Every structure is written in C-alpha cells, then in structure tokens.
Amino acid sequence: MSIPNIIPITEDLIAAHGLKPEEYQRILDLIGREPSFTELGIFSAMWNEHCSYKSSKKWLRTLPTTGPRVLQGPGENAGVVDIGDGDCVVFKMESHNHPSYIEPYQGAATGVGGILRDVFTMGARPIAAMNALRFGEPDHPKTRHLVSGVVAGVGGYGNSFGVPTVGGEVEFDPRYNGNCLVNAFAAGIAKTDAIFLSEAKGVGLPVVYLGAKTGRDGVGGATMASAEFDESIEEKRPTVQVGDPFTEKCLLEACLELMQTGAVIAIQDMGAAGLTCSAVEMGAKGSLGIELDLDHVPVREDNMSAYEMMLSESQERMLMVLEPEKEAEAKAIFVKWGLDFAIVGKTTDDLRFRILHQGEEVANLPIKELGDEAPEYDREWRELGGLSPLDIAEVEEPEDYGQALLDLLGSPNNASKRWVWEQYDTLIQGNSLQIPGGDAGVVRVEGHDTKALAFSSDVTPRYVEANPYEGGKQAVAECWRNLTATGAEPLASTDNLNFGNPERPEIMGQLVMAIQGIGEACTALDFPIVSGNVSLYNETNGEAILPTPTIGGVGLIDNWNQMARIGGAGAGDAVILIGGDCSHLGQSAWMRDCLGRAEGAPPPVDLMEERRNGDFVRSAIRNSQVTSCHDISSGGLAATLAEMAMASDLGMEIDLSACDGPAHGLLFGEDQARYVITVPKDLANYLMASAEGAGISFRQLGTVSGDSLRIEGLMSLPVSTLRATHESWFPAFMNNPAAMAAE
C-alpha cells in the first residue's frame, strides 16, 4: 500500500521525523506554509544530525584542511591528496554504527559499500580498506553475536567486491554494550586530472539515475542514525539497508568506464538520505535547481510512494548530471554491465527542488535552504579533564612480571585480532605489502616500480574520556607514528568523530575539546584533515559510548624496498629505544586490563617531540639503517617488545638497569613519541651518534638473541609462550560452546 502525500502534520509526526518544534517552525518560516508529507521527510533527511552536522559544523571549521599536497578537502564525497607522477589518493572514513547494532551483517556490509562508493564516485579505483570496530564487554550477551555479524558483513562485502582490508582496530569496553561502533575506511587511486566532483553545472541538463533499483530498505536510515537507542530498537530494523557487493562491483566498472567518455558533468553516490541528499547537494553546490520525476525511478517494489523513493537508502545507486549528446553512449555502458540507467530529471535555473509523482507535484522547496539553512547550533559545552597525573608510587609492582605481561597479552583488548582479519581478504589485487598485524597496512601503487601507500587507523578512547584535548592530540599522533614506523611520510588524515548526545554539555565538551586537540596535532604534524564523518547520539538509555574520535591516515613510501616492518629483526641486531624512559601509568592498558583501574590523567602529547622523533625514525628507515620498527602505544614497552619478538620469531636480551624509574613504569607506562627499532650491530653506534647529534632521546636496550624475551632480573618468556597466549583469546571467545548456547 502506497503512503499518501496528504497526511496531517501533527506534533507526534514531527517528533517521529527527528525534528524539534523550533526546527519545524523554521521550516514554516522558510517555505511560508505547511509542508506536505514528502516535504517533511525531505527536511527530516536533510536536517538530521547525520547529514547536516548541525551540532559540529562550528567546530569542524576550525580543523586544518589544506596543505601543499591537498587537491580536495572536506565537502566532497572524499578527500584527495597528490602522490606525484600524475596520481592521487582518494580516501575517507565514515560510520555505520546504528545500523550495525540493529542488523550486524547488513549494517557493516553496507557501511563498507557506502565508503567504497564515496571513493569511486570521485573517479578512483579502490585499492585498500580498513575498519575500526568497537564492541561491548565480551561477557555481554549481545557482544559475540555482534562481533560475528559485523566481521562477517565487513568480509562478505569487501571480499566479494575485491578490495583488500589492510588495517583497522578491534576493542571491547562495557560502554559500547548498547551501541557498537563500525567505522569504515576506503582509499583509491586516480589521476589528478580526472577527479569528478558533485557540483552540477549547466541548465536543462539531464539528471540520470544509475545502478540498482530502489526499494523500501533503509527508509529513514539517516534519521535513525541521528537518535539515541532505547528498548524499541528492534522496530528500527527496516531502516537498515541491504547490500549487494556484486552489483557494486559492476557499478564501479561502469562508472569508471563512463568517466572516460567525457559524459559526466557531476556525480554523487546515493548514501545517507538517498535520492534526496544526492540531488539537493548536486544542485545546491552548483547554484542550480533540480526537478525530479519519480515515475522514471527504477523500483523493485510495487506502489512505492514519493516519500519512500525520496528517503530510501537502497544501496549501489548513483546520481549524475550528464552531457546530453553522450546519453546513448552512457546508457550502453550501463546496460552492458546489467545496471539501470534512467533519466529522472533535469537541472533548472530557479533554485527550487521540485518532485513530481504520478502527475502531482509532491514537493517544491528552496534547494539552497535545504542545505545551507539547516539549523546550526552553538551548543553549551563543559570543559573536561583536569585529572592529576597518577603517582606511580600509588601503583604496586606486580609480583611476577612475566605473568603480568602474559595477562596483558591475553586480555581481550591486547590479544591478537588474527581471528578477525583472517576473515578478510588482505591480499586481493596482489599489491599488499603489509597486512594487518603491524603498525600500518601497506599497498603498492600499481604501475609504479617502487611507490607504496601506508594506511593506519587509531584512537585511544580511554585517553579521550580522561582528557578529550590530550586524547584528541594522541589519536592523531599515534596514527602519524604508525605510518612513520613503516617509513612512510604521513600525507593527510580523515576523521570519524563518534560521541554521545551533544545536547548534554559534558558530551559536547568531549567533542569540542577533542576537535581542538585534533586540530592542534594535525597542524603541528602537517597532517591535514581532508574528509571525515561525525556520528553523534551513540547512546542507549542515556548511557553514552566512550568518546571515540577515530583518525585514519595515509602515508607515502617512495621506495617500498626500504620500508620497515614490525617483524624484520635479525639475530644480533641492537634493540634501541627512541624517546625517553617511561613513567606514565595513568590510563594505561596494563592498569585497565590487568588491575581493573582507570585512574589519573592520560600521558601528555608533546607534538614537537613527536615530530622530531618521528622524522628521525623515518630518515633512519629510508637510509636502510633499521631492520624492524614498532611504535610504543597501548601496553607500553613490554607489549611492544613482545609483539616485535613474536613477529620476528626471535628472542631479545633486554637490560633496563640504565633506565630511570621503577620497572612497572618502564615496562607498562605509555609515554608518547616513542619507538623501538632494531638496527644491525655494525650500524648501532652510528645511529645512536646520529640521534645524539639531533637531540633525540634514546637508549640501547639490548640485542635480538635466542628464542625468549628476557628482561634482566624481571622475566624470561619463550616466544612460543608469548604467541600461544597472544593468539588464543579471540578463537576461544568466538568458539565458546557455552556462549553459543546462551545466545
């Protein structure tokens, strides 16, 4: 049964569309009358938090978005950065949190599909994907179900489409019990002179619908993603989109083929808010009106109303403004690939957004105001942080350091995520040089003898909660370090800002201060934000997630023959710490996961030191002086040494007697701007002299030797024992028959 366009607009109906009374009054003032039902849906789609960024716009404008390599910053489907030789990398990260909690497989799958479309809409062929996943505590009755469904969805779509997943994160915390996070990243390669934008140009030109047919799946998806969850969550299942990766692959090839013909004037994928958002954005950016006739929209269900067609978020669809004389050629390409091609409207010069359906004008709205006049809030926010550094004397040393390290490596957040990434195709396309398990994924630039790109995604939510400003800085710094640890020059970043309800001053304070920290770090590290996404209202029954501003970064490796790996150490190599001794246990993984304590301020981030130490490490890698490298982050020096030993399958002889401070601080503290590198024995003195000359703090910790990690006077653990502990938690968790029976 079709939904009529004439429905009484009630207070309940307005609220059901996520509009507040003052926002509805703004609509009345703009159009001078009561909206039709379809128009109400259009305003709901365009003015929700997910599409309009009405709570975050003020602060997003403060972020650094330009640089010598930046070709396209925020405002398009994805950011674009020059990598030389006429090539550029196109990338973005965005969330699919709410859909993935409601329907894990399809929510995660369509999150991957959406971000891939953002990339190839720009004219780029996708070459790499990442995903940052966060779930509730492992013992929660829904966690295992969510992990299984989300991982299967990410792999099911990405593997079928044919893009390697080369990096990401998986973490657990009780604060995600009612709202998991699925942040998807994709990157592609394009020619710098063949980038396609969404700005419509020219009057009277055909607006063309491309791809799959429109159904009722995902109607109201963007509005759903802009609201908190409660007990009625199951009722929102129909708002989750359904994906088809094989159709998406055909759409990719058809779009790239079409782009070579010169037929495309503007192109936009149909993501959040579907046909509404794509048409409005194309027209408004070009200062043009858009007229759509929905009778020509390809549909897969009977009796679809205008409201449903305009708000459907059916996947694998594009909207394009076409050169009229190229229509036949364009249509032939899409027919060849088995996809729909339909002229559904035209550009106009009246700055109106007109929707026709079955001979009736169901919507007639000012197109600019739909986007430009969306509410923009300067919400009240509260300054947060102010925690004092934890006195290390207040934390007892472990009785058994070896067991403490095993407890850390075998805990859910620090255990190997091999079970997850082995569900993904990490090698398809044949260009993967580093797959998940190290600091960053690395992919060759096809057609170039030596060039490669590195990708990393990072944030430490417990830091952000304790001090949003320092936590924001740290997220950027760690991403930058992870790229550097491969030898890559960090080029630019994308952000995915996941927070709770911004109408609460403490949550808004988290967002504001995190953005301030991110901005300062990006500026100091020449690491501009070129794209991104904001996901707010991540709460269930008033319980907010941990503030999670995920940073995705891209780095350039000029010669992949000189890149560093986490596992490249050789017997006899010197083990050298770059950076100072550690003493900061506040908010450390060891305290959280082994002692059950979350206390004190997070480690401060000295951006000058980050830059100085990182530039030194990168130079040493590019001079072929480093055999392996790993940045020190969660788990501190102990976890770093263990992970390097496991990756190299070699032991280490370590002596901390020359270091300053108590052993548990040295081993488990998480002071920033630090790396562990291994260096051939004959180069060690030269490298340390270079470090001293550059004003870099360093220590020689020991040598690569034997088959055990030996730390003088503290522990001796066979590498095989480290690996068995590190690799066992996730398979045991996912294959737990008792957990299966309980679900």
**DSSP letters along 627-651, please?**
SEEEE--TTHHHHHHHHHHHHHT--
Strand ranges (E), 96-230: 125-135, 165-172, 181-191, 206-211
CB atoms within 10 A of CB 728: 14
Query: Across-strand partners of 557?
Result: 452
What's the rounded Cα separation, in Å, for the pair 488 and 122? Answer: 25
Residues 629, 674: contact at Cβ < 8 Å?
no
Within 13 Å of residue 582, how many CA atoms lie on the same side as its CB? 29
* Nearest CA-CA partner of 570 in 704, 706, 700: 704
User: Which single residue is written with the structure tokens 């901005």?
Assistant: 519
Contact 531, 79 (CB under 8 A): yes
In the block, tokens 């994160």 appear at: 169
Alpha helical stretches, state H, 415-492: 418-421, 461-466, 468-484
Rounded to whole angstroms, what are the CA distances from 115 to 54, 157, 184, 321, 593? 22, 11, 7, 21, 33
Structure token pair of residue 138 = 């492992």
Residue among 96, 357, 630, 664 flagged as catalytic: 96
Return d(Cα 533, Cα 538) in angstroms, integer: 14
Q: Return d(Cα 420, Cα 733) in angstroms, integer.
A: 12
Question: What is the spatial distance between Cα 486 and Cα 618, in angstroms, rounded to a whole number?
Answer: 8
- Rounded-to-integer distance, Cα 56 and Cα 508, Å: 9
Nearest of 670, 645, 633, 657 to residue 725 by alpha carbon? 645
CA separation for the pair 600, 588 (Å, rounded): 9
Distance CA 431, CA 557 (A): 14
Residue where the block lists tokens 């924001």: 472
The residue whose two tokens read 């008033």 is: 542
Host H or E run for residue 42: helix 37-47
Q: What sign results for the dihedral spanned by CA atoms 411, 544, 79, 131?
A: positive
Number of H helices and number of E strands within the chain? Answer: 26, 28
Go through the chain and tell me how many residues it has.
743
Residue corresponding to tokens 């001090």? 467
Q: 364, exposed or middle or buried, with CB in 10 Å at 0-12, 13-18, 19+?
A: middle
Q: What are phi and psi of 200, to 5 degrees?
A: -70, 145
296 is catalytic: no
CA–CA separation, 743 vs 142, rounded Å? 8
Number of Cβ within 10 Å of residue 686's Cβ equals: 12
How far apart are the C-alpha atoms of 423 and 165, rounded to whole Å? 10
126, β-bridge pairs: 188
Choosing from 17, 50, 357, 664, which is the catalytic residue?
50
Contacts of 1 (CB under 8 A, 6+ apart): 303
**Rounded-to-integer distance, Cα 119 and Cα 127, Å:** 10
Q: Is 145 a catalytic residue?
A: no
Catalytic residue numbers read 50, 96
